[in-house]
Amino acid sequence: MKYNFLWVTIISTNENGYTEELLMIDLSKLTTETRNEKTMNLDELSTAEVLKVMNEEDQTVAKSVSKALPDITKAVDQIVANFNRDGRLFYIGAGTSGRLGVLDAAECVPTFGTDPEMVQGLIAGDMKAMTVAVEGAEDSKELGIEDLKAHGLTDKDTVVGIAASGRTPYVIGGLDYAKEVGAATISLACNDHAEISQHADIQIEVPVGPEVLTGSTRLKSGTAQKLVLNMLSTVSMIGIGKVYKNLMVDVKPTNAKLVERSKRIIMEATDADYELASEMFEKADENVKLAIVMILTGVDLDEAKERLAKAKGFVRKTID
């Protein structure tokens, strides 16, 4: 027997307070919820056989992402445009989708030296949902709205709604509110013709097909989402001067490993030896960009700061 429908309670708020609405979702239209013909007898396979089929299925994900590159390009250009207006980037999602957004946002701080406010991940049910499922949180459109309101969303910001299924109410509520405010909206789903695509200015759809383990969207869907989020954040940071050549020159040296990495970045960028890189790193108050500009242009710290400011943070523009 096949079960193609799911009854869920959607919680919304009206002028009288909270109301509940029972909706029926047709799961048969979501490829992420259908069964994978290659793994119908998954529990009978050997360990090696399961790993082989998982690996084979994972290899299809990058190809799916490649088909979405034109839309990902539009998304990156929009994020960069809003960053240049002093706007912020918000990821909003539930479950695995939300956790991946929080992870990508958190990585921007040490990797690119961003302010924690610049890129933020919001997850249905708040941060406790990172480790424990919060029942019903993803089914509330109002919660998505409230979370963005709490962060003072403006028309300078960008909101990326993430949902493997493409129909999560929390995400839809957030995207709709973002549109009302005038913020740029981007959707990321792992099904074709996703519902959230109808609520965003730019739609990214990466259909990965049925999961090895039916409905477990932390697998191929999660991999696809992580690949796309890697692109959105990394290429956006390149677009605002956080990278010189292929070096992350705005890295924050917050521990011993990153201090040494910072020095090696200076060495790679300037062909300086370790002693000179270390010396200029200290003179630049442990700012990798400034150390690189000082070495490549021969100027002092104050002049390096001025050049970088005029170049809007792009190292290359200070030396060309």
Q: Which has the closest alpha carbon to 112: 230, 226, 228?
A: 230
Q: Which tokens hold the place of 203?
A: 């739609």
- Rounded to whole angstroms, how far apart are CA atoms 201 and 185? 5
- The DSSP line for 180-235 is HHT-EEEEEESSTT-GGGGG-SEEEE----S-SSTT-TTTHHHHHHHHHHHHHHHH
pLDDT at position 16: 41
pLDDT at position 31: 81
> Kind of pairing, strands 184-189 and 158-163?
parallel
pLDDT at position 189: 97
**Going residue by residue through the chain (320 aa), what tens digit of pLDDT does each one get?**
344 444 444 444 544 444 445 454 555 677 888 888 888 998 999 999 999 999 999 999 999 999 999 999 999 999 999 999 999 999 999 999 999 999 999 999 999 999 999 999 999 999 988 988 887 788 899 999 999 999 999 999 999 999 999 999 999 999 999 999 999 999 999 999 999 999 999 999 999 999 989 888 899 999 999 999 999 999 999 999 999 999 999 998 989 999 999 999 999 999 999 999 999 999 999 999 999 999 999 999 999 999 999 999 999 999 87
pLDDT at position 101: 98
Helix (H, G, I), strand (E, B) or coil at 88: coil
Residue with tokens 């200070």: 318
Q: Which has the closest alpha carbon to 187: 162, 224, 218?
A: 162
Q: Which has the closest alpha carbon to 230: 42, 67, 91, 96?
A: 91
- Rounded to whole angstroms, how far apart are CA atoms 253 and 306? 22
pTM reported for the whole predicted model: 0.88
Q: Is residue 171 within 8 Å of residue 163, measured between CB atoms?
A: yes
pLDDT at position 44: 93
pLDDT at position 320: 77
> Kind of pairing, strands 158-163 and 89-93?
parallel
Half-sphere exposure of 279 (CA within 13 A, CB side): 8
Q: Which tokens hold the place of 8?
A: 């869920």
- The DSSP line for 235-256 is HHHHHTT--BTTB-TT----SH
Which residues are designated catalytic? 107, 138
Bridge partner list, 43: none
Q: Which has the closest alpha carbon to 12: 204, 143, 136, 194?
A: 143
Neighbours of 248 (CB within 10 A): 20
Domains and CATH numbers, the chain: 59-239 (3.40.50.10490), 256-319 (1.10.8.1080)
